[in-house]
Amino acid sequence: MDSIQRACDQLAGHQDSFVRQTASAIAADDLARDGEVVVLQARLSTASAQIKTLRAEIKRKDERIEKLTRMTFGQKSEKCPQSVPESGDEEERAPAGPRPADEQGDTSSASPTTQPSVAKKPRGLLGRQKLTFPQHLRREVIDLEPELGQFCSCGCRPALVGEKFVEKLAYRPAEVYVIEERFPKYCCRKCNRFVQAKAPERVFDYSRYDDTMSLMAVISKFADFLPHHRMQQIFGRSGLKLNRATIWRLAKRAGNYLKPLYEALISDLQASGKLFMDETTAPLQV
């Protein structure tokens, strides 16, 4: 392009007018062509940038669709594994590597005709494992006496020769009950003295909700990761209309009383030389 422009400049000084006009026309056409090339290059770079942006957006949308599909049609569990193995036998997929020295020594000492016994991989008991009951659990004893028609008709008195015990683990949903505190008033007719019991010490005074309700709100929220609207549904099944804003206020007032303990723990952690922190984010829903 530069050589064409230099040649046109040289021909522009020629004595023949036709040659000068032709040189100027060639120079103008060449400049116009250069402008079109620049415009096309700019359009091409813009299109390339748009393609890269669209590809990145498609990739993000594919990841979201994959996550939603896994959450909708995946396992019915709150723990969603990143990758689920296709088969349950992990021994076949284990890479073949050098065995420990004790295993090598055992195989070398064994005779060539005798094959070493391979220990089978222990499998789950599929719910048949032994069930142990903690000692602090409340026990409800139910005596099942035989019916009268099962006894003999001779009139003798049956004697107890033994018993059979069957233990079963039972569950009763959380119980919501009402505490009614009564303060009787007494008065001496002679001394004209009025006597009444003092109110017991409470963590939260002047409240229609017991301290246990605040503990329930804190434990369910921060230990069991239970949203407030789900707590509202749980209480609703018991016939209690409890708004989630009320549950939030119960948890908040418990947090205000626990704030000194929180500050003491923070001071103790900051005084240590090393700290370990898990920065995994946990989504919380009110």
pTM above 0.85, yes or no: no
Residue 196 has pLDDT above 80, yes or no: yes
Alpha helices in the chain, H assignment, sequence order: 2-12, 17-73, 101-109, 211-222, 228-237, 244-271
Most confident listed range (95-99, 152-156, 158-162): 158-162
Residue 7 has pLDDT above 70, yes or no: no
pLDDT for res 81: 53
Picking from 234, 89, 108, the residue whose alpha carbon sits closest to that of residue 173 is 234
pLDDT for res 103: 46
- Residues 6 or more apart whose Cβ sits within 8 Å of residue 184: 196, 197
pLDDT for res 63: 92
> Are the C-beta atoms of 204 and 211 separated by less than 8 Å?
yes
Pairwise CA distance, residues 41 & 35, whole Å: 10
Among the residue ranges 24-38, 129-143, 219-233, the one predicted with the least confidence is 24-38
In this predicted model, what pLDDT tens digit does every residue of 225-284 receive, in sequence order?
889 999 999 988 888 888 999 999 889 888 888 899 999 999 998 888 888 877 877 666
pLDDT for res 89: 43
Last residue of a domain, which of 36, 71, 106? 71
133 in a structural domain: no
pLDDT for res 61: 93
Last residue of a domain, which of 49, 71, 93? 71
> Are the C-beta atoms of 268 and 209 separated by less than 8 Å?
no
168 in a structural domain: no
Pairwise CA distance, residues 107 & 115, whole Å: 9
135 in a structural domain: no
- Residues 6 or more apart whose Cβ sits within 8 Å of residue 203: 211, 214, 257
Q: Output the CA–CA distances (angstroms, integers) from residue 285 to 10, 188, 223, in the order listed.
A: 79, 58, 14
- Residues 6 or more apart whose Cβ sits within 8 Å of residue 80: 70, 71, 74
Domain count, the chain: 2
Instruction: Look up residue 248 and give its two tokens.
Output: 């939030």
Average pLDDT over residues 126-144: 80
18 lies in which domain range? 2-71
- Residue 257 CA from chain centroid, whole number: 28
Residue 157 has pLDDT above 60, yes or no: yes
pLDDT for res 164: 86
Q: Tell me the three-class secondary structure of 211-231, residue by residue.
A: HHHHHHHHHHHHCCCCCHHHH
> Are the C-beta atoms of 50 and 35 separated by less than 8 Å?
no
115 in a structural domain: no
178 in a structural domain: no
256 in a structural domain: yes
129 in a structural domain: no
Pairwise CA distance, residues 221 & 209, whole Å: 17
Last residue of a domain, which of 30, 56, 71? 71
pLDDT for res 263: 93
Residue 100 has pLDDT above 50, yes or no: no
Residue 4 has pLDDT above 90, yes or no: no
114 in a structural domain: no
